[in-house]
């Protein structure tokens, strides 16, 4: 009955398993609790603002002038953020997917194996460094090419943000393209399709859910990015519908103004308010993107 003896001894193992599972459970719970606390903290700190400042004036106000006459209009910041983000997406998505297709489908092995790690390393450049590089390269470039009096514009921000999101978009899109089973490529080629037809009719559509996830993650980086846009978009909280004018994003507003506020004051609370809005916007973007990605994944 030796095996029965062994069986009895495994009580320690049961205990160990119990400990490990509880440990993992607690870790999981902590991360959720922390997330909840962040949300609670945002709401708590912005409560003063939302209870004393008319919500309609906040959401539709066209002037952000917190120190002079305590106007907290959200529209200029929203427009600034959207302009910069939209421009960045417009640049980054075609470029990123193009590079991913090149690396994944067309590049010779050696090129692929050197290019991909290099691109992934680009993602680790701190945003303040990129902002500084942008200040010295992109800003004068935009200024000269459009003969502006100042190069700190939404377009400059878009360009730098596009470059910041490119490594994410390229790397994840390329993973998705790589994951397309070779059998599909062979089937397409065997039906008489050429390489290009196979790529855009079979490979890219099959990888589309992954590519979409890549774009969404890139978008997340773009919307949340603070330092670089603070440095090069000019920080002018006015509503302008031009890429060649200075704008100010939600993130840059918080970063720029938080240091000058009175803790607990209306301005302080207002900054938490726009932080809360930013949080909700990014949360909703990710949430819908996630559901969309899942839906496509189910089809494939």
Partner 1 sequence: MSNNIKIKVKNYGFYYGKIKVLSDITMDIEQNTITAIIGPSGCGKSTFIRTFNRMNDLIANSKVTGEVSVDGINIYKNNVDVVELRKKVGMVFQRPNPFPKTIYDNIAYGPRLHARYSKQKLEHIVEDSLKKAALWDEVKNKLHTNALELSGGQQQRLCIARVLAVNSEIILMDEPASSLDPISTQKIEDLIDELKENYTIIIVTHNMQQAARISQKTAFLLTEKIDEPARLIEYDDTNKIFTNPGDKRTENYITGRFG
Question: Which residues of this protein are in contact with partner 1, per CB under 8 A?
Answer: 181, 183-184, 186-194, 197, 201-202, 205-206, 299-300
Residue with tokens 């939302």: 50
> Rounded to the nearest 5 degrees, what angle is found at the Cα of 271, between the Cα atoms of 270 and 274?
90
Cβ proximity to partner 1: between 136 and 201 the closer is: 201
Minimum Å distance from CB 191 to partner 1? 4
DSSP 8-state secondary structure symbol assigned to residue 66: T
Comparing CB distances to partner 1, the nearer of 188 and 269 is 188
To the nearest whole angstrom, how small is the minimum distance from the Cβ of residue 107 to partner 1?
13
CA distances to 26, 59, 72, 90 from 53, in Å? 40, 11, 8, 36
Closer residue to partner 1 (CB): 41 or 196: 196
Provide, rounded to whole angstroms, the least separation between the CB of residue 201 and partner 1.
7
Alpha-carbon span 195 to 86, nearest angstrom? 32
Least Å distance, CB 99 to partner 1, is 23
Task: Spell out where 138-198 has E strands.
Answer: none
Q: Tokens 């996630």 correspond to what residue? A: 290
* CB closer to partner 1, 124 vs 194: 194
Distance CA 31, CA 125 (A): 27
Smaller CB separation from partner 1, 129 or 191 = 191
Question: Minimum CB separation from partner 1 for residue 189, in Å?
Answer: 7
């Amino acid at each position: 009955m030796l095996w029965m003896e062994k069986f009895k001894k495994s009580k320690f193992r049961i205990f160990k398993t119990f400990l490990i599972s509880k440990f993992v459970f607690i870790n999981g719970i902590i991360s959720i609790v922390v997330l909840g606390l962040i949300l609670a903290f945002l709401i708590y700190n912005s409560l003063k603002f939302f209870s004393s400042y008319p919500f309609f004036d906040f959401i539709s106000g066209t002037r952000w002038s917190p120190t002079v006459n305590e106007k907290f209009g959200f529209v200029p910041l929203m427009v600034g953020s959207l302009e910069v983000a939209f421009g960045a997406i417009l640049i980054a998505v075609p470029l990123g997917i193009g590079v991913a297709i090149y690396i994944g489908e067309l590049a010779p092995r050696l090129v692929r194996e050197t290019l991909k790690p290099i691109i992934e390393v680009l993602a680790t450049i701190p945003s303040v460094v990129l902002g500084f590089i942008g200040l010295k390269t992109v800003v004068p470039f935009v200024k000269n090419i459009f003969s502006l009096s100042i190069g700190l514009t939404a377009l400059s921000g878009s360009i730098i943000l596009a470059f910041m999101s490119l490594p994410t978009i390229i790397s994840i899109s390329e993973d998705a393209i790589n994951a397309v089973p070779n059998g599909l490529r062979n089937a397409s080629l065997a039906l008489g399709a050429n390489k290009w037809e196979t790529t855009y009719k079979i490979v890219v559509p099959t990888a589309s859910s992954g590519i979409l996830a890549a774009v969404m993650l890139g978008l997340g980086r773009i919307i949340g990015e603070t330092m670089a846009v603070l440095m090069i978009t000019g920080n002018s909280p006015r509503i302008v519908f031009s890429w060649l004018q200075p704008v100010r994003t939600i993130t840059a507003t918080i970063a720029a103004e938080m240091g000058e506020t009175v803790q607990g004051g209306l301005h302080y609370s207002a900054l938490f308010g726009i932080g809360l809005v930013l949080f909700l916007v990014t949360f909703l973007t990710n949430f819908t993107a996630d559901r969309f990605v899942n839906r496509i994944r189910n089809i494939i």
